[in-house]
Structure formats: C-alpha cells, structure tokens
Amino acid sequence: MIWNETKECMSRDEIRNLQGARLKKMVSRVYHNVEFYRKKMQEMGLEPGDINSIEDIKKLPFTTKSDLRDSYPFGLFAVPQSEVVRLHASSGTTGKATVVGYTRRDIENWQECVARVLAMAGIGAHDKIQVAYGYGLFTGGLGLHYGAENLGATVIPMSTGNTQKLITMMEDFGATAIACTPSYLLHIAETLEEAGRLDKIQLKAAICGAEPWTDNMRNEIETKLNLKAYDIYGLSEIMGPGVAADCEYHRGLHVYEDHFVPEIINPETLEPCKEGEIGELVFTTITKEALPLFRYRTRDLTSITYEKCECGRTHARISRFKGRSDDMLIIRGVNVFPSQVESALLEMGEVSPHYMLIVDRVNNLDVLEVQVEVEERFFSDEIKELENLTKKISHVLQSALGLAVKVKLVEPKTIQRSEGKAKRVIDRRKLV
Ligand code: DLL
C-alpha cells in the first residue's frame, strides 16, 4: 500500500481544497441529522450554505466534553443506530461515560489511519505486533488491533494485565513490535532486565501513546530495549489512536488532515494562536459518519507547524503535549478526574469530603493513592473496622474509575485546607 504518495504528500493547496469540500458536505449532513448542532447554528444565524471553504471553519460553534456528556448516550449521533457497528466509551467527570460510535466506513478510515502510523514506524506485513493497550471500551486495544491487521501484520492481542505472559510470548513468538503506553513499556523493560532476558527479545519498534511522555523517556525506552519508539496520539471523541503520530525524525506528530482539521486556540479568549504558539488543540472531523464533531476542544496543549517535514509528508505537525487545560489525570492510560473520586466518596456517605489524590510512578508504573479523612472513632475502635472501610472505599473507587487504587484513611484535619481553590492532586510523577 502506498500511504505516502497518495494521501500524505499532497500540496498545502490540495489539502485545503480537500478539507473545504469535505467540511461543506459534513456541515450540511450534520445540520440535517443532529438537532444539537442545528439549534446551535440557528442561534448563530448560520446556515449550511455559509460554509464554503476551509476558512469558514471559524464560523462553526465549538464542542466540549460536557456537550457529549449532556447528550449521553447517543444524542450527537448523526446516523440511525442500524448504521452504527461499534461503540466505545471513555470516563467522564461525573461518572457517566462519554460514548462514541462508528459506522463501517468510520472503522475503515480508523484502521487506515492506524495502518499509516504503523507504516510510518517501519512496520509491515512481515512484522508480529503485540498489542498491549487495554481491549474493551477503551479505544487503544481494538484501534491498534484493526490498524495492524489492515496493514497485514500479525497481531498478538495481549491487552494489559499479565506482564509475565506478555514477556513469554514476546520471546516465544518473536514479536518484532509492541504497542502500549510508554510507562508500561518501561515497566516491561525493567522486568526483562531483572530477569536477565533483554537479549532474548526481537522488538524493533514500539508505538507508544495514550499519555504524555518526553524525549528523555523515549531515549530510555530505546536504549533499554534497543528499538525505535514512536509517539501515537488520539482521543476517543475524535476517533481513538491514530489521529496523529510521529515519523522517524520525531519533529512533531503528523495530523491526518484529510480526516481531521486541527486548530490551536487560546483557551481563555478562544482566538486562534499563531503558528508555533502554544494553545489548546481543537479538532473538526470531516469524514466521520456516526459522530461528526465541530471544533472539539481537546484540552490538550500544543503548538502547530505547517512546514513540510524532512520525511516528505506535508500534513500539519503538532508538538509533543505540554499538558492539559483542565484537571484530567491520565493514570496507566485511564482518564481520571478528581471530581469522579469526590462524587464516588460522597455517595458512600461514611467519609468526609476531604480527600487528596497522590499520583506517583513506582517501578515505571503509575500508582494512585487516595487519602480520605474519616471520623476519629475509626482510629480508636477495632482495627478491623478501619480495614473494612479501607477495603470498601478501594472497591467503590475501583469500580468508579476503572482503575486499582491504593486507599489510605487519615484522621480528621490531616488534609490541608484551602481558602481558595482546593488542591486535590499531588502529582509526583516526573516524566524522566
Ligand atoms: O488515549 C486513545 C489512544 C490510545 C491514544 C492508544 C494513543 C494510543 P482517550 O482515552 O480518549 O483516548 O484519551 C485521550 O489522552 O486527549 C490526551 O490528553 C491523552 N493522550 C493520548 N495520546 C497521547 C500522546 C486515547 N501521544 C487523551 N501524548 C488525549 C500525550 C496523549 N497525551
């Protein structure tokens, strides 16, 4: 398959013309099929006929995660349910998931984008790739899986959770590539090192993403495992993994602009940022059928360049992420909002609303500790009661967050109070 020449090396004019034509069609379809957007456009005095070129994208309304949450589960879908072939979901601030849907064509486009990412990393039909992102509602596992199959590679669908088995299969099957979060890959590397088995593996490429990581972390991964590590970005609302990825030059992530139109805005003023200036990344989907979104505010902070890359690709590139403009934490690839912890704790009724999230990286794995204040009596009574409450809270939080959590109960007034905004999170992870 010739990914490069046909789709990734168009001139800037060709890209903009293609985007304009696709945007025009998309806006008209959405106006007729999605009440939410029709109303928004009507309020702004906007009609589909007002969108004629890519420059007109600025006339469209923004979409936020809370718009998706408010229309839970399918309110923003633009096709009848019979055309939806897959659903995925990611966690949201109030415990309700954000639901995303795909038509058959959406899945085809998704697997093509992921196949491009893998091809850019030098992976092909002769490779065996272990997919060690979580399978299920999270888009990581199945997203990488279908992309790799589309490319013709041999997929080993590991999912997460059993590092020893993963390592055994990596050796026995002779895996040549792996896809997982960068922190998990470092953990795998350390486990291999401790077992003295680093020389037994044949990995040559790693496709890492779903959480922020730095070039230092990339160097560490590459040196320890003797492979090349590539950055893959995406978010479920827009598609999942494969919205953007980097090439062998690592000069930013190429955005698949034939499907997603990126903009960088100032998150306060909502005005566009200049090329190279850091701001919030916003995406408009121009080919999505089931869940097309106008100007979706990702909250991810980055900058953009439209210069052609040394590799020859012409799509816009975004720099590695500088953080988020909201308070979402990403722990082992799972999105965690402090407010989710709060509502889960408060629903239990037995604990005070004073809590603190402490995130750390132990043996390269992110660990979340939740400290919760409980009544004095728990410390004077039988130790059993304290243990039972700890277990109960761990259980409640694990099911609310979809993540194992260490719970530490503390005495009243231990957690620092604040008169202004409460500080709920201590993030001790240093991105090495
Ligand atoms: O994390 C999709 C994905 C799966 C991407 C596997 C890459 C690999 P969500 O769970 O919806 O989707 O989380 C999306 O994760 O807005 C970013 O804040 C963060 N994120 C994803 N990739 C990267 C990356 C998947 N390469 C949120 N670098 C996004 C930094 C990333 N942050």
Question: In the chain, pLDDT over 90 holds for what percent of residues?
Answer: 75
User: Strand, coil or helix: what is 154?
Assistant: strand
Structurally, how many domains does the chain consist of? Answer: 2
The more confident residue out of 148 and 362 is 148
| Ligand 1 pocket member 230 (CB < 6 A) | no
Structure-block tokens of residue 152: 């013709």
- One-character DSSP codes across 378-397: HHHS-HHHHHHHHHHHHHHH
Write the CB contacts of 201 (distance below 8 Å, at least 6 apart in sequence): 170, 171, 175, 192, 225
Choosing from 282, 310, 325, the residue where a domain stops is: 325
One domain for residues 230 and 99: yes
315 and 333 inside one domain: no
> What type of residue is 314?
T
- Predicted confidence at residue 34, as pLDDT, reads 98
pLDDT value, residue 419: 62
Q: In what order do the strands lie in the sheet with 425-427?
A: 406-410, 365-373, 355-362, 425-427
* Nearest residue by C-alpha to atom 13 in ligand 1: 235
- Helix (DSSP H) and strand (DSSP E) numbers for the chain: 12, 21
Do residue 54 and residue 93 come from a single domain?
A: yes
Name which residue sits closest to atom 27 of ligand 1, judged by CA: 235
Q: Give a three-class secondary structure readout of 189-226.
A: HHHHHHCCCHHHCCCCEEEEECCCCCHHHHHHHHHHHC
Ligand 1: nearest atom to the Cα of 299: 16
Q: Which residues contact 247 (CB under 8 A, 6 or more apart)?
A: 120, 230, 254, 309, 311, 313
pLDDT digits (tens, 9 = 90+) for 326-384: 778 889 888 888 878 888 888 887 887 788 999 999 888 899 999 999 888 888 767 78
- Residue 32 CA, ligand 1 centroid: distance in Å: 31
Instruction: State both tokens at 259.
Output: 């499907």
Ligand 1 contact via 392 beta carbon (within 6 Å)? no
182 lines ligand 1 (CB under 6 A): no
The residue from 273, 295, 325 where one domain ends is 325
Q: Which pLDDT score, from 0 to 100, does residue 2 have?
A: 44
| pLDDT tens for each residue of 218-240 | 988 999 999 999 999 999 999 99
User: Which atom of ligand 1 is closest in space to residue 320's alpha carbon?
Assistant: 28
Supply the range of the domain harboring residue 387: 329-431
Residue at which a domain ends, from 280, 300, 325 = 325
Predicted confidence (pLDDT) at residue 72 exceeds the cutoff of 50: yes
- One domain for residues 304 and 412: no
37 and 92 in a single domain? The answer is: yes
> 260-274, 328-342, 415-429: lowest mean pLDDT where?
415-429
pLDDT digits (tens, 9 = 90+) for 178-204: 999 998 898 899 899 999 999 999 999
Contact (Cβ atoms closer than 8 angstroms) between residue 166 and residue 187: no
Ligand 1 nearest-atom number relative to CA 234: 5
The pLDDT of residue 274 is above 80: yes
Residues 394-407: pLDDT tens digits?
999 999 998 999 99
Contacts of 353 (CB under 8 A, 6+ apart): 342, 345, 346
Strand order of the β-sheet with 279-285 is 260-265, 279-285, 296-302, 323-324
Give yes or no: residues 288 and 348 share one domain. no
Ligand 1 pocket mutation pick from 211, 282, 297, 401 by most atoms within 8 angstroms of CB:
211
- Cβ of 98 below 6 Å from ligand 1: no
- Spell out the residues 6+ positions from residue 23 whose beta carbon is closer than 8 angstroms to its own: 51, 54, 56, 57, 261, 284, 286
105: pLDDT strictly greater than 50: yes
**Ligand 1 pocket mutation, candidates 144, 181, 233, criterion most atoms within 8 A of CB:** 233
Distance 113 CA to ligand 1 centre (A): 15
CB-ligand 1 contact for 235 (6 Å cutoff): yes
Centroid of ligand 1 to alpha carbon of 295 (angstroms): 18
Q: What is the CATH number of the domain that holds 19?
A: 3.40.50.12780
Q: What is the mean pLDDT of residues 116-130?
A: 97
Exposed/middle/buried for 239, CB within 10 Å: 0-12, 13-18, 19+? buried
Q: What does the pLDDT average to over 18-29?
A: 98
Task: Say whether both 241 and 353 belong to one domain.
Answer: no
- pLDDT at position 117 over 70: yes
Q: Which atom of ligand 1 is nearest to the CA of 253?
A: 26
